[in-house]
Each structure stands twice: as C-alpha cells, then as structure tokens.
Amino acid sequence: MIKRIDHIGIVVKDIKEALKVYQQALGLGVTEIQERPDLGATIAFLPIGESEIELVQPVTIDSDAAKFSEKRGEGIHHICLEVDDIEKALADLRKKGLQLIDEVPRTGPRGERLAFIHPKSAHGVLIELYEYRESETAHDSDSQ
C-alpha cells in the first residue's frame, strides 16, 4: 500500500525568508514555485533524495494553511505518503475506522491524485496520500 514518503509540507509565513534557510544554509534546490489561488497558497518544491520538502505560504486569510499558521504557527503541516492505489487505500482506511477528510481523491498541484486522513485518526498528524498516474513520476517537473 504505502510506497514511500513523498514529501513533508511545511507552512511558512514568507517563502523568500524560508528559502534563505533551505537553499542557502541547507543547500537544497528549488524545482518550482507555484501560485495556487485555489488553495490560497504559494508552494515551493525542494527535492531531497527520493522525497521533497514543500514550503507552503498562505496568501489568503481563509486558506487551510493560514488557519494552520494562525493556530499553530510555522512548522510541519503534513506528511505525504505515496500509495499504489488511492481508492483501495481509502477504502481500507475507512474499513479500519479512520476518519478521512477526503472521501474521494482530488487533483494535486502536479496532476497527482490525493486525499487527506484527519489528524484525529493519526495522533495529531495530518497525513496526505498521493497516487501518481503510471505515466507520471514523483519528480517529472524536475526536467522542465
């Protein structure tokens, strides 16, 4: 079911300031920065090994990232796990009694299918599930 950790999402107040740490101090590269009005956020993608760090800056006061930042401050927002079959994973989790935020997968920033498990079911951790299409790899955008 679970293949690997795809990424860790981190909410930041200012991506440019956060990138000073992640790029300059830690030496990570940025493959892409997306403006996502549909999410009320700007997202920077920083690959590290077979995974990524996603820096998420809220740009609207009513976005999920803004609500998280207001309540908890900057920090780890979610852990994303890649799965083979997201429908099967959701059905299995539902059968095991976990509370899902997304009963049906939605489309992510790079065309992947995603769904979230409620933190109440995962001891306070927001878990995101990703399924990539067969023609897609985790870092296809790296070559763009």
Mean pLDDT along residues 26-55: 95
pTM (two decimals):
0.87
Residue 100 confidence (pLDDT)? 97
Judge whether residue 119 has pLDDT over 60: yes
Judge whether residue 136 has pLDDT over 90: no
Find how far residue 10's CA is from the centre of its chain. Answer: 8
Judge whether residue 35 has pLDDT over 50: yes
Torsion angle in degrees (nearest 10) through CA of 140, 75, 4, 37: -40
Judge whether residue 143 has pLDDT over 50: no
Closest CA to 116 of 106, 124, 125, 127: 127
* % of the chain exceeding 70 in pLDDT: 92
Put the strands of the sheet holding 32-36 in their side by side order: 32-36, 41-48, 51-58, 2-11, 75-83, 127-131, 113-117, 106-107
Q: Where are the alpha helices (DSSP H) in the chain?
A: 15-19, 64-72, 86-95
What is the CATH code for 2-134?
Answer: 3.10.180.10
Sequence ranges of the domains in the chain? 2-134
